[in-house]
Structure 1
Amino acid sequence: MTSEIIIPAIAEDGSLFPIEKMEAHRTDQQHLAISVFVFSGSRLLIQQRAASKYHCPGKWANTCCSHPHWGEAVEDAASRRIGEELGISVPLSKTSIFEYRADVGGGLVENERVHVFTGHADETGLVISLNAEEVSATRWVEVSELAGLLEQQPDSLCPWFAIYISHWNELKLGQ
């Protein structure tokens, strides 16, 4: 588990202040986050979190989710994390900002203001190089199958991915 990562938290007045990532999750402090959705036509690249992750191990999520470091632009964080987790570089566009709160187990809460990004790639030519500390597997799924996945296998999904599927149009992810 990585410790002492400082991320931007959000004060009641909307200003940002630095907080240690695990402290934000333990204290239910709202903080900034990024979520990336990489598409190939009507298919979405999803990832299975590594078994060693401190929360939601082995569960499926969208292409990439993380937090910007303190002082880092959300756009830079999104590009950095898809490289660090999946070994890919894809041009990204911000589509929306979305707030959610989810209990992720172990006394931890994700209380996030998420900057949502999309990218497009040709899945047949995209070379993915997984960071085994972050991701155990990836797969491409038809966007039209996501609601069924949520209905039939909700426990296989990270809480935030289930929320994203339920708010697909609001996130401006229409494919």
Structure 2
Amino acid sequence: MNTKVPEGVITIPAIAEDGTLYPVEKLKAHVDALFHLAVSVFVFDGDHLLIQQRAADKYHCGGQWANTCCTHPHWGENLQDCAERRLQEELGFSLPLTEMRVEEYFAAVDGGLHEHERVTLYRGQADKAFLKVRPNQAEVSQTRWITAEELKREMAHSPEAFTPWFHIYLDRFPTLVL
């Protein structure tokens, strides 16, 4: 399989049937529902989770609430480095992250796109009194802290306000203990 990436094309690791990785353009992965790698970060202060509302003009799920941050590694990028990079890019801060588990899921998202992911979940601890969150407005419209119980109530009342993958995470981890 050809793993050379054309210059200037943003690619992510897709997963072949035999488990090997190959580069694919990010949007193609979502259009064709290709199985691919991803990371999701959950930053806590005690029992409060930092969540973000995705910027309204994101290519899918704009304006919906999601976990602290998530993304796809670039082709050849280490997953831990990816999670740390994206936390800084989206929210403007860094902190130590611990890998918690790997999950797989499939979800239809808006615009006829799909997420078919093997996602590595990372957890970070922060003190919200001292954490300086500086959202990148191209990625994140706002952030807030929420408990698992508050999140369950809000998702039940306004399910459309939350991303499909955030629903999946809360279904699998109702207390947000990853």
TM-score, normalised relative to structure 2: 0.93
Can you give the 5+ residue segments of structure 2 that lack an aligned partner in the other structure?
1-7
Residue 131 of structure 1 aligns with an amino acid whose one-letter code is: N
Deviation at 1:4, TM superposition (A): 3.3
Q: Secondary structure at the match of 2:118?
A: strand
* Cα-to-partner distance string for 1:99-158 (whole Å, 9 max, x where unaligned): 011110212100000000000000010001111110000000012222212211111000
Q: Structure 1 residues 72, 150: CA separation in 2 closer, same or farther (over 3 Å shift)?
A: same
Q: Secondary structure at the match of 2:22?
A: strand
1:38 — aligned with what?
A: 43
Deviation at 1:173, TM superposition (A): 4.2
Q: Secondary structure at the match of 1:57?
A: coil
Alpha-carbon contact 2:53-2:142 (below 8 Å) kept: yes
Alpha-carbon contact 1:4-1:21 (below 8 Å) kept: no
1:147 — aligned with what?
A: 152
1:162 — aligned with what?
A: 167
Please say if 1:81 is aligned against 2:86: yes
> Percent sequence identity over matched residues?
53
Q: How many pairs are equivalent?
A: 171
1:174 to 168, 172, 177: 177
Q: Partners in 2 of 1:161 and 1:96 — Cα distance?
A: 15
My pick for the range that moved more, 141-150 or 27-36, is 141-150
Residue 114 of structure 1 aligns with an amino acid whose one-letter code is: V
Q: Partners in 2 of 1:174 and 1:104 — Cα distance?
A: 25
Residue 136 of structure 2 aligns with an amino acid whose one-letter code is: N
2:3 — aligned with what?
A: none
TM-score, normalised relative to structure 1: 0.94
Residue 143 of structure 1 aligns with an amino acid whose one-letter code is: A
Residue 92 of structure 1 aligns with an amino acid whose one-letter code is: L
* Cα-to-partner distance string for 1:35-94 (whole Å, 9 max, x where unaligned): 000000110000000011010010000000100000001000000000000001010001
Q: Secondary structure at the match of 1:144?
A: helix
Residue 88 of structure 2 aligns with an amino acid whose one-letter code is: G
Alpha-carbon contact 1:95-1:173 (below 8 Å) kept: no
My pick for the range that moved more, 146-155 or 70-79, is 146-155
Q: Partners in 1 of 2:151 and 2:9 — Cα distance?
A: 35
Give the alignment's Cα RMSD to 1 decimal.
1.4
Q: Partners in 1 of 2:134 and 2:156 — Cα distance?
A: 30
Q: Partners in 1 of 2:94 and 2:24 — Cα distance?
A: 28
Q: Partners in 2 of 1:65 and 1:150 — Cα distance?
A: 19
